[in-house]
Amino acid sequence: MEGDENVRSTDESPLSGDIANAGCAALRPSEECLLKKLEEVNSQLEQDSRGPRTYLARTSGGSDNGTSTATTPPSSSPAAPASPQQIRRNSSDPVGTTRFGRAPKDPVREWSAAIKDWDVVHRKRFRQIIDLTVKGIPTGLRGMVWTLLVSTARTSAEAKRSTDGVHDDTPKEAYPVLMERDSPHEKLIVRDIARTYPGNAFFQDGVGQETLLRVIKAYANYDIEVGYCQGSPFIVGALLLHVPEEDAFDLFVTMMREYKLRGLFRPSMADLPLRLFQFNQLFSQIFPELYAHFEDISVPVSSFASQWFLSMFGTVLPLEAVFRILDLFLLDTGSPTGNFGMLVIFRVGLAILGGNYDYLLMANFESIMAFMSPKDLAQRYENSVDDLIKASCKYNSTVTAKRLMKAEKDYELQKEAESREQSEITRLRTENAALLQANKTALGKIAELETENSALAENLTEKCAALAEARALIADLSEADAVSNSLKSRRGTEDILQCDVTDLAGT
């Protein structure tokens, strides 16, 4: 059947921007309408070569992250969460066959059938969507499936709240105005865009970079509180390679709102410490020996995992891996179990650690940091993206929302303890500052008293000297007075004797 052949070819041929628009417009139409859209999409695939999707297979200079070839350490087989020994042991692919043992079907046909009857499949056979997504969404249908998944998430959220209280228009309606407004972050955005997927042909020319600039700037104008945060261009860039820019903006807004990304991108990055705490706890519980080694050589989780959360591995893994991670990430809100979304980032991170367990356990600080660099990780997984995704899926039953919630409670308790400790430290510092001020005041008074005492001492010395002089003068006067009295006494005696002599002479 000609239509089936066209659909099958979409797995190998990229979509153009106009074609992706047609796919996105086909949300919840009638079966006949959707089939017509799919046929239109596939009939134009061979003719279109200008949309950003055509760049998916045309990268230059190494990986999509702009890395070149590099020597990477040997790795063990993908990890299973039970124990380090089991993690390093090869195991069969849990999702490589169909659920009931039937022969594998063509993925494009399966996805086309799911898209055709999306409401029913999503509501009643969501497990089928999960299984298909784990295997990978065909490139030609990825933008359409992403839009359907996010549309489902948005519909579910809008049932709970009618408006965000800030914007009356939908993001897609507001986009033309928002992208034209000036942004205080524009200079920083332009600088970072030049470093976004530099090895991908779409972002090597002005068209791709300008498109990415418009979407990022529009979001900075749309969400004033968040503004711009480094890392977001890697997520938006991956979206732009599958959908037109207004749809990429619409998808990104919903991801920020409904998929718990917004807390990571606020100026305070309030959720990043929480995510790192949760990952640190999972790391220590699942790989205790490797975790202890990292602790011994002072390699904190924050030194390599921060960029995983902020860019959804866009800074360190090949683009194909980023696409596959987004495939699983966007399953979250539509999933009855809420078992995807942010959980996928944790699982992929653990798969990287587990898949290279033996090497990392023996590596020193410099070797580990080099291994975690974009250059080495991108090269390591350039040809083993599927293995990485399958390895991450082995943690589905280990890394659960319940486990992360428990870690979040532990984080809150730790923050409360730290807050109390900080409050006590603040109180003691305040008291210490007051005591230091009182001591300073007392020292000032002592200095004043010492100055007064010095002046009094000097005055006393002067008075003592004057008193000594006075006493010496008094002593001199007393001596003179004694001499004078002695003379007077002698004169009196002489006068008496003279009188006696006179009397004798008279007789």
- Is it the case that residue 90 has pLDDT exceeding 90? no
Classified as helix, coil or strand, 200 is strand
Given this model, what pLDDT does residue 35 score? 53
- Is it the case that residue 72 has pLDDT exceeding 50? no
User: Which pair of tokens denotes residue 273?
Assistant: 């410490």
Given this model, what pLDDT does residue 163 score? 40
The radius of gyration computed from the CA coordinates of the chain, to the nearest angstrom, equals 43
DSSP 231-247: THHHHHHHHHTTS-HHH
User: Which pair of tokens denotes residue 299?
Assistant: 């390699």
User: Which pair of tokens denotes residue 483?
Assistant: 């001499």
pLDDT tens figures, 289-336:
999 999 999 999 999 999 999 999 999 999 999 999 999 999 875 454
For CA atoms 200, 204, 210, 213, the dihedral sign is positive
Chain CA centroid to CA 403, Å: 21
pLDDT tens figures, 127-167:
899 999 999 999 999 999 999 998 877 765 554 443 444 45
Q: Compare 337 and 229 and report the one with higher pLDDT.
A: 229
Full-prediction pTM beyond 0.95?
A: no
Q: Compare 30 and 403 and report the one with higher pLDDT.
A: 403
- Label residue 106 by pLDDT band (50, 70, 90): confident
Contacts of 290 (CB under 8 A, 6+ apart): 84, 283, 353, 357, 360, 361
Give the integer Cα–Cα distance in Å for 285 and 346. Answer: 13
Given this model, what pLDDT does residue 236 score? 96
Give the integer Cα–Cα distance in Å for 118 and 27. Answer: 9
> Inter-axis angle of helices 245-258 and 206-222, to 10 degrees?
40
pLDDT tens figures, 464-505:
888 888 888 888 888 888 877 777 777 777 777 778 777 777
Name the DSSP letter for residue 333: T
Give the integer Cα–Cα distance in Å for 15 and 6. Answer: 13
